[in-house]
Structure 1
Amino acid sequence: MGGHLAADAGSVLAVVVLVAAVLFAVMAVRRRWFVRKGGTVECSLRVCPETGEPGPWRLGIARYQGDTLHWHRVFGFRARPRQVIHRRGLVVSGRRAPGDREAEGLLPGVEVIAVRDGGTRLELAMGASALTGFLSWLEAAPPGFPVDIPQPE
């Protein structure tokens, strides 16, 4: 009887490992698919409600598509973006270094930029080169859409 139980436990463990490997492979292929299309940067995002504490930081990939920035979670399976940020009407309200407690959940060497897209307040955390690209994307807006970009505090 003990031999059958060990074989059953081994089979279950093998299935669990196989499922985990398939899920990891799907996430890796999805990430590679996003990156191959070009215009992508690593970018963490969190939603900041009008009242209360901001949400948790989520690691993701941002991809520029014309007048929108599509943000996808790194650890996810969706092909559609979790957040779409529109360049037209985007207001940058602040730029800062992450706090000590925040830095633990972010990639090293990032800056945080606070934005408002319509009624949604967000914070984006990205490295220096990604931030330069983001600010250039904002400044490249068509005429008639002034962009005010605050300097870091």
Structure 2
Amino acid sequence: MGDFGIVFAVLAGALLLVLLLLGAMVVRRFQLRRELGTFDASISTRPGHWTMGICRYQQDSLEFLRLFSVAWIPDKTFVRSDLTIMGWREPEESERARLVPGSVVVQFKHKGEELQIAMKYGAYNGLSAWIEAGPAVGIGVWR
């Protein structure tokens, strides 16, 4: 095998690894979206920076998983009883290109930290109902 054959084998191997990684990300996204209680969202913890992902409801928390990842572990977890909805707004013109079309930007407080999550209005209705339907902190047991 000459120098050309070695270079070709290395490039073919690298291309195969990239294709496998992309395939794993696509399979992960489809598997996550098939689960009940998931919706597409983008999160912003600092102004002008949006990260695309999928939010998933759990019994007592909301999990955010990055879209471009192969990890099944959530990137951020928000405890239901610590989430407070501050309101929602239409995306600004500079944000529209980075968000899913038809999204609204929901402003939250979680443990004193302000954050924004962009989602479809229907997902916002479900999220606000999920937060309000949770148990009062310190009263009773959630079943």
> With structure 2 as the length reference, what TM-score do the two structures score?
0.86
- Secondary structure of the residue that 2:63 maps to in structure 1? strand
| Aligned-pair CA distance for 1:70 | 0.5
- What CA deviation, in whole Å up to 9, does each residue of 1:23-81 have, x standing for no partner? 01221222233233321100110113xxxxx2510000000001210110010122211
Partner of 1:31: 29
Aligned counterparts of 2:45 and 2:90: Cα–Cα separation in 1: 17
| Aligned-pair CA distance for 1:84 | 0.8
Aligned counterparts of 2:39 and 2:14: Cα–Cα separation in 1: 32
| Percent of residue pairs bearing the same amino acid type | 33
CA contact (8 A) 2:85 2:128 kept: no
- What CA deviation, in whole Å up to 9, does each residue of 1:77-130 have, x standing for no partner? 222111111221322123101111111111111000110110322100001221
Matched, 1:113 2:113: no
Aligned counterparts of 1:55 and 1:19: Cα–Cα separation in 2: 32
Matched, 1:99 2:92: yes
- Secondary structure of the residue that 1:47 maps to in structure 2? strand
Structure 1, gaps ≥5 residues long: 49-53, 146-153
| Aligned-pair CA distance for 1:15 | 1.2
Of 135, 139, 143, the match for 2:128: 135
Q: RMSD of the TM alignment (CA)?
A: 2.0
Aligned counterparts of 1:96 and 1:37: Cα–Cα separation in 2: 28
Report how many residues are paired: 138
Aligned counterparts of 2:136 and 2:112: Cα–Cα separation in 1: 23
The one-letter code matched in structure 2 to 1:10 is F
Structure 2, gaps ≥5 residues long: 139-143
CA contact (8 A) 2:78 2:110 kept: yes
- Greater share of strand: 2
Aligned counterparts of 1:6 and 1:120: Cα–Cα separation in 2: 55
